[in-house]
Chains A and B, each alone.
Chain A
Amino acid sequence: MTNLPVHGGDLALWSALRRHTQARIGLGRAGAALPTRHRLELQAAHAAARDAVHSPFAPDTVAAALPGTPTVRVRSAAPDRLTYLQRPDLGRRLHPTDRAHLPAGEWDVVFVIADGLSSRAVHEHAAAVVHATAARLDDTWRLAPVVLAEQARVALGDDIAHAMGAAAVVVLVGERPGMSAADSLGAYLTHAPQPGITTDAHRNCLSNIRPPLGLPYETAATKLTALLTRARELGHSGVDLKDETALTESAADQLPR
């Protein structure tokens, strides 16, 4: 690949402009088309994203990264990846037999680790975010066992929290992979979720958790702790719950709801 010729991309101007954008500018041409190097680079990025979408979730990997933390495994009602991608409604509902695995209790918050659209993001980042957030919550917070959810969308957390009697749910979910990032983790906080009634307007979101290029674990944990605390005081989460640590919600649309 390094032997492929470089086209317009080596001009000083394009080098200067690339400091301002990751857009694929100044690629040069092969006739009307892209030079081979850039065509293959695009295919490589797309391949990474496709593999992230279709790699199977490995709950053992996540559980192993959470030593000493009790975990529970559940599936959504979507039986396989093909169905999951076409039926978001099934990804938002618990598998009927798995509901019984969830221990009910007086939980203040349950963390749900959901594969979403990138298992890779979850494998790489979810345990660290749970760990860092739990460390910041004082002993007034009763933490439920961490739920590892397969073929899961964000709203599956509503069903899980409801079944366990948890007052709030934080869903850590693999975001829809883009061409520049296939390992981006999102976090959705919902206070007092009600399955089928709660909408996205009732949630608060952090996205692009993926150090070193995206949001660091410590920052994400600080923001999540502040949001959880504020939601508990107000008795609700959602659009009117402002993050006073200035979080961005611009990427919220990319999360697999």
Chain B
Amino acid sequence: MSYTSVLGGHRHRFENLARLLAAASPERSGDRLAGLAARSAQERVAARWALAEVPLTAFLTEPLIPYESDDVTRLILDGHDTAAFAPVAGLTVGEFREWLLSERADAAALAALAPGLTPEMVAAVSKLMGNADLVAVARKVRVVTAFRSTIGLPGRLATRLQPNHPTDDPAGVAAALLDGLLLGSGDAVIGINPATDSPRAVRDLLELLDGVIRRYAIPTQSCVLCHVTTSVDLMERGAPVDLVFQSVAGTQAANASFGVTLGLLDEAYEAALALDRGTVGRNVMYFETGQGSALSADAHHGVDQQTVEARAYAVARRYDPLLVNTVVGFIGPEYLYDGRQILRAALEDHFCGKLLGLPMGLDICYTNHADADDDDVATMLTMLGVAGASFVICTPGGDDIMLNYQSASYHDALYLRQVLGLRPAPEFEAWLASIGLLDEGGGIREVLGEAHPLTAIGRDLAA
């Protein structure tokens, strides 16, 4: 069905729900590239007026991508929990925004509501929200997951330590790993993007990380971010796989472009659960997403990039993941042009994922051809810290020499913990204390000239 509203003496018409959502989206280059963006500022606001009147139930009866041709649509609609949806079932999108901002929507109510929400509902309401709204609501949602550390507790911020190296050199990886640990990083995961997806190379890195984690009894988990089929293969051969990684997207066709099906993910999930390597929890999956991936794969079906991103979270939540990371500025300026667009997307993705019940973290990053810099990273980091992000990605000096982009640094995470009073995951915090890295105020003690036991990590491999 079509939707209309009158604004500025002009009657605006949107031919279907997908076009309405796209026109209501805050401006970003990817929607313009796809030919889906509002054609004027007034049309954008007109779309928001019309969207505010749409009942939430419309998203259950008018799928954006046909049920018959897309398994993500089927996953969303077949898995919808009508009982959980009941408290908001009578609301329009505009009323839902007010409900979310009200005191009725406390942590317990939002947690109970999550299975009753679909990605399209949360994407729709996000388009009526300002940046501050996205922070205020997301901050109320806590999603707690665990493997060897517990992620997402109130007052905590975890980090992924990302010691990438362009040729997977073990000494180079160990050097960056040591640097991160000495700066208190790595409680969400120690995760490497390998230079190749070859099972042998991935296994070598897994053994390296597993060796360090065991030797120093670090309460964290490792991940080498390879294709899910590589992980399945390695698990069958007895490699020390803690978490199964996969990039996922919001349509069946986009997932196909990643070489992924729900069946493959089901298989990997069962295999990782069976290994039973966690100590304090059984969340075994690590997913990455990011606005623009569906358009990049020419698989967006005319759905705007923020809404199709939210649909990826429906895929993720099927597997009770430990971590979901939106890699928010990675693809480039043709999807998110500048710091302003990247910030907005970061807040949207975090909000949508959290409302759907996911442990959301972010890779707050930019490429050199985007109009952004380290000040944008600081702004995003601060807002996402206030919004209660579960974890952030950290690299040495904020410069990833393997993927060639800039992300947050280990120092940035220290800053965020300091200014917001956030602490590491409890198990990891106790470990930091046990090896003398925690100071009296709960901060990370600066290791200067003296030898620290951890520096053996570097010394061994550099020898």
In the complex, which range does the number of interface residues on chain A fall in?
Answer: 35 or more
Closest residue of B by beta carbon distance from A116: B369
Contact A13 B406 (CB under 8 A): no
Contact B169 A176 (CB under 8 A): no
Closest residue of B by beta carbon distance from A32: B414
Contact B175 A17 (CB under 8 A): yes
Contact B397 A176 (CB under 8 A): no
* Stretch of A22-30, A139-147, A154-162, A218-226 at the chain-chain interface: A22-30
Contact B401 A22 (CB under 8 A): yes
Contact B163 A23 (CB under 8 A): yes
Contact B368 A24 (CB under 8 A): no
> With A and B bound together, what is the CA distance between A17 and B178 in angstroms?
10
Contact B404 A179 (CB under 8 A): yes
Give the total of B residues in contact with A, Cβ under 8 Å: 50
B409 at the interface (CB under 8 A from A): yes
* Stretch of B235-243, B300-308, B454-462 at the chain-chain interface: B454-462
Contact B406 A46 (CB under 8 A): yes
Interface residue ranges, B against A (CB under 8 Å): 29, 32-33, 163-166, 169, 171-176, 178-179, 195-196, 333-334, 337, 367-369, 373-374, 395-399, 401, 404, 406, 409, 411, 414-415, 417-418, 443, 446-449, 455, 458-459, 461-462
A250 at the interface (CB under 8 A from B): yes
Contact B411 A24 (CB under 8 A): no
Closest residue of B by beta carbon distance from A87: B33
Contact A20 B399 (CB under 8 A): no
A97 at the interface (CB under 8 A from B): no
Contact B169 A20 (CB under 8 A): yes
| Given A11-B449, A254-B404; A88-B334 close (CB under 8 Å) | yes
Contact A18 B175 (CB under 8 A): yes
Least CB distance, A235 to chain B, in whole angstroms: 27
> With A and B bound together, what is the CA distance between A256 and B334 in angstroms?
11
A-B contact list, 29 entries, CB within 8 Å: A8-B446, A8-B448, A16-B459, A20-B169, A21-B165, A21-B401, A22-B401, A23-B163, A25-B175, A25-B176, A25-B178, A26-B179, A29-B411, A29-B446, A32-B415, A33-B415, A34-B397, A42-B374, A46-B406, A53-B368, A85-B369, A86-B29, A86-B333, A86-B337, A87-B334, A88-B334, A176-B369, A179-B406, A250-B196
Closest residue of B by beta carbon distance from A254: B404
Q: Which positions 1-45 of chain A face chain B at CB distance < 8 Å? A: 8, 11, 13, 16-29, 31-34, 38, 42-43, 45
Least CB distance, A172 to chain B, in whole angstroms: 18
List, in ascending order, chain B residues with CB within 8 A of A11's CB: 449
List, in ascending order, chain B residues with CB within 8 A of A22's CB: 401
| Given A34-B409, A179-B406, A250-B195; A23-B368 close (CB under 8 Å) | no
Counting chain B CB atoms within 10 Å of each CB, the highest count among A16, A23, A26, A250 belongs to A23
Contact B404 A23 (CB under 8 A): no
Q: Other than the known A21-B175, A85-B369, A86-B33, what 10 A-B pairs have Cβ atoms closer than 8 Å? A: A20-B461, A21-B176, A23-B401, A31-B418, A33-B414, A46-B373, A86-B29, A178-B368, A179-B399, A180-B401
